[in-house]
Amino acid sequence: MILNRFKFNNTNTLKHIQFIRSFCNSSNTEFDLFEKRFKRVPIKNNNTNNNNNNNNNVPVRQPENDRNNLKSLPGPQFIPVMTEEKQKLASDESRRVIEGHKNELNEFYRNNREEIEKNLEINTIKKPFALCFGYDGTGFYGLSYNKDLKYKAIENAIEKALFINGHIAPSNVGDLSRIKWSRSSRTDKGVHSLSTLISCFILVDEKTNQREGLSKETIESINKHLPESVRLLSGTRISKSFRARRGVCERTYHYMVPKKYLEGISIDHMNEILSNYIGNFSYHNYTSQRNTYLAEKNKKQSEDDDDEDEGEDFEEENQPKTILSPTTVTIDRISEKKMFRVNPKNMRTVKKFYVESDPILINNQEWFRFVVTVAKKIQPIEALKVSIDSPFIVSTPTAPPFSLYLYEFEFENNKKQPVCTKTAFSDTYKTFKKEFLSNQLHQRFDQIERDTNQFSTFFEELQQHQFLLDDLPHVIELNNEFKREKAERQKMHEERKLQRQEQRERERLEKEMQEKEMQEKENQDEEDENENKNKEDQK
């Protein structure tokens, strides 16, 4: 009996057992893996409905008045139930996406049920792990989990590989939040990574417990069910409180450009240009769909908007911007200056930005890894400074995204940091990156450039791109004025802050004086009372 091999560690395990129980008691019925937010509803016994006895169909939800017959069923069935009100609110597209996602996972389970159940018998205890992945993002619509079948995401492939290896319970499939899934960063469509960390709670073998981390055999088993372009590097045990999103504080990206497009430009000159990006700036001219300018009715919004918050570090979908043709565009710079507010999601702190002096040879073509616009002297250095340190719109062209990849991450260095350090990955980390980079990514970059000539097209159109800086001298003058006004506002803010502190200090001193006077008066009254009492005693 399969049930005897499981321990009831928590409620998730109980849901797992309920699912297995249904499988054991009714082998002629297929099951819906979606248990979250759904009610348990009965399914008519297959013995009484021979016409509909089809192993390849998910059971159909029964009418409301049949839901009290659970005891007569062979086991619980988990069927999605949606109220009429929610059905009216949900769009046809949303229902299509949810239904397609559900059907895909159910079909995946049916096709691999024997292997999944076999592995679930072995992996019975849930533990927190940090999984380090590397992947070639070509053909994927980014890393983040996506329920729409039209947009294949890397995390969907990872979920299936973990599920078929018995590391995710059926009741948790389709909702990664139930295993506290957290990623160190997101990558966009076509972007690659050598160091993406994912923290989650997965089922492992209770006998081995894998205290130090996933064994080599386990990693190879997971990789066997992953696409060739996605590899699991290692899995390390972590504390229950560790979350990859908050635990990783720095990320290093590499971007590669064929050397032939940078002929005549010295490495030192490029590094001098790139040093302008180092610091904390609002990159509103380098992103899309990020509100930066207030509507007229919101002009009076508080200056507190300048403060940076701790939002999720979402990265924009990396769709190349169109190279603007040289047409006349009129921009109201005064309105830009008045309406500009810092959007925290635009803020980035760049610590290093440089070009490696030694080019990489890929199929007899040299590539550099680093800002081309200024280096080519298409725009002056002042234009770059305006684009990153001013409130004004600058149309910055976007280079081809296919040669961008996340190279490595750094953990936050503090005493409260849970046990999860990069040394845990040291045995295979460097070897993996070197092999995957040279054998997979470098070859992919060369293939894409040869097939599409994206860099060639980019540099040709760059000469004709309109940066919306025909009024650059005026913009520089307004930017200096904006900075003076901002400095004055900050000065006034500091003065008001100091005044409030002084006022609080005066109030505190006055309160202390009052308390002291009251205490002295009480002490004097007490002394007078004692003195009178002594006099009466003497009489």
**pLDDT for res 317:** 41
**pLDDT for res 210:** 67
Cα gap 244→433, rounded to integer Å: 20
Tokens of 335: 């309105």
Tokens of 470: 């025909």
**pLDDT for res 332:** 63
**pLDDT for res 7:** 35
3-state helix, strand, coil in the chain (%, to 5): 45, 15, 40
Neighbours of 325 (CB within 10 A): 9
Neighbours of 60 (CB within 10 A): 9
Q: Largest Cα–Cα distance of the chain, in whole Å?
A: 117
**pLDDT for res 5:** 31
Domain ranges of the chain: 1-108, 112-458, 471-531
**pLDDT for res 413:** 62
Nearest 5°: the CA angle 266, 190, 105 is 160
DSSP, residue by residue, 270-313: HHHHHGGG-EEEE-GGG-SS---B--GGGTT--GGGGS------
Low-confidence ranges of the chain (pLDDT < 70): 1-90, 209-210, 281, 284-349, 351-352, 354, 356-379, 412-429, 466
**pLDDT for res 154:** 94
DSSP, residue by residue, 161-181: HHHHTT-S-GGGTT-GGGGT-
Q: Domain 112-458 belongs to what topology?
A: Alpha-Beta Plaits (3.30.70)
Cα gap 515→511, rounded to integer Å: 6
Task: Indicate the angle between helix axes 454-462 and 442-452, nearest 10 degrees.
Answer: 60
**pLDDT for res 67:** 36
**pLDDT for res 463:** 76
